[in-house]
Each structure stands twice: as C-alpha cells, then as structure tokens.
Amino acid sequence: MSLFTGAGVAIVTPMHEDETVNYEKLAEILEEQIAGGTDAIIICGTTGESSTLSHQEHVDVIRFTIEKVAHRIPVIAGTGSNSTREAIYLSQEAEKAGADGLLLVTPYYNKATQKGLIDHYTRIAKSVQIPVILYNVPSRTGVNILPETAVYLAEHVPNIVGIKEASGNISQIAKLMSLAEGRIELYSGNDDQVVPLLALGARGVISVLSNVAPKETHEMVASWMAGDTARSLQIQMDMIDLIGALFCEVNPIPVKTAMNLMGKEVGPLRSPLCEMEEKNLERLKASMKKAGLI
C-alpha cells in the first residue's frame, strides 16, 4: 500500500532572523498546506535545509510537525545522511516521534557503490518498522541508485516501499518501473516531470512547488488519477514557467524567497545558502505574477 497518493510537499523550515527555527510559522504553513489539499508532509528534506540543522533541531522539527499534523495526513521524515549510523539514529528518533514513513537520500559525498547503497539502506530500514522511501537525486549527492539496485532493495527489505526519483532520467525511470513490476512505488522528485512520471505509473510527487501552489499541485495529480489526463497536463504546462524559476538557483533559495514575496514570512536561509542574484529574483517575480501568486 502506498504511503500516500497525490502531492506531498517537501516543506521549508521557517527561520527567525537569527536563523533559529520559527515553530509558530511552521505551524501556520502546515495548516495552510493541509487546507490547500496537500496529501502528505515531507519534513526535514533538502527543501527543509536538513543539512544545516543540528541533530537536536532535526528531531525537534520532526516531532513538532507530527504533533501539529495530528494524523490528518501522513508525515514523512527526511532522515538520510552520508553516515549510516547517523541515518539510523535519526530514523529511529523519527519512528519514536510517530512518523508515518521515512525519506532517505543517498549518502552524499561518500559516493557509495551500488553494493554500498544496498548495505546502507538495508541497515537503516531494518533498524525501524515504518515504511521507507528511497531518494535518488544524483545532481546533489553524486550517487545514482540504479534501477536494479532499487528493485533489489524493494524485493529483499519489506519496509522499503518507494522511491522519490529526481534523476531527471526518464529512460532510467522507465527501466526501473519495468523491472519493478509493481514492487516499488514511484514518486516524482522533479516538479517539471510530474505528468511524465504519472504516465510511467507514479503515485504522485514530492514537491517543492506545493510550498507556493498546493492546490494546483494536488489537482495535477488528482486529475490524472481521476482519468482527466488533459486537465493534469494543462496544470503541468501552466506551472512550467514558475517551476523553472523555482529551480533557477539551488533549492530552497528560490522557494523560500517566493514564500517571503507572498507574505508568508518564512525568514532567511542558513549559510552557505544566500539571497538570490538580482536577475534570478526578477525572473522569479515575473513567473509568480504570471501564476497569480503576487
């Protein structure tokens, strides 16, 4: 069974001006997401600046989110790391806090082999009882989960149930789905490829776009699932300029900037992330105006 079907938001972590976590604002945007039809919350992922959170902050943000969402929709905790031991610790803490599932990014910088990935993911998944979604994003981590590796893990580790695919390689993803024969759930990790991956059998998207357009992102997937593929495709096309602007600099710089432009006051980014270049900021503003967000 899928952890969720539809649009899961890879939600930002709001900060005060001193760069401490703004829990009051986090509670507010969680409520906005649920009201907007978002189907799952993914907390402490890349978009949530997890790599700059301390261990205690990481666990506290996960626990706070689970308490605030209160089982209304699934909460999936980002607990991946380039250290297997660290990922196990974070995963076990997330499970204790009541997370519905885990999102585990590939171990960045170490550049593990496929054999190493199998060992890494197997050890983490076996340390908990809750479902696990693998996260393949080689542009950020330097590591690519090959289709054969993902399928092996899904076959041999019962609680590895899905994969967030952000490789951008449609041919690789098609091969994955062909080899998997329904044994692994696919989620798009790229907002500009939601419809193409739905056509390959994806259950939805883990989305940056949902931070600023939750209703549209939800409807893009819901329309497809309801058989209205023309409506789904139209939303994808309507959003494509905005999606491009949200990734014109490294995520989550543009999306946090966009939310602040919308008056959501999610605060600054933690270094080494910084404010947008002026030309990219103007592009973002133009795309947001076109989409009716500002």
Asked about 164 being catalytic, the answer comes back as: yes
What distance in Å separates the CA atoms of residue 54 and residue 191, rounded to the nearest whole number? 28
**In 3D, which of 149, 293, 268, 156 has the Cα closest to residue 217?**
293
- How far apart CA 44 and CA 128 sit, in angstroms, is 18
Active-site residue among 89, 121, 135, 187? 135
DSSP 137-166: -HHHHS----HHHHHHHHHH-TTEEEEEE-
**R_g (Cα) of the chain, nearest Å:** 18
* C-alpha distances out from residue 216 to 62, 126, 212, 233, Å: 26, 37, 9, 12
Check residue 98 and report its DSSP letter.
T
CB atoms within 10 A of CB 120: 24
Is 108 one of the annotated active-site residues of the chain? no
SS (H, E, C) 20-85: CECHHHHHHHHHHHHHCCCCEEEECCCCCCHHHCCHHHHHHHHHHHHHHHCCCCCEEEECCCCCHH
Find the catalytic residue in 89, 121, 152, 164: 164
The enclosing H or E element of 7 equals: strand 6-10
Q: What is the dihedral of CA 205, 252, 90, 145, to 10 degrees?
A: 50
Active site residues: 135, 164
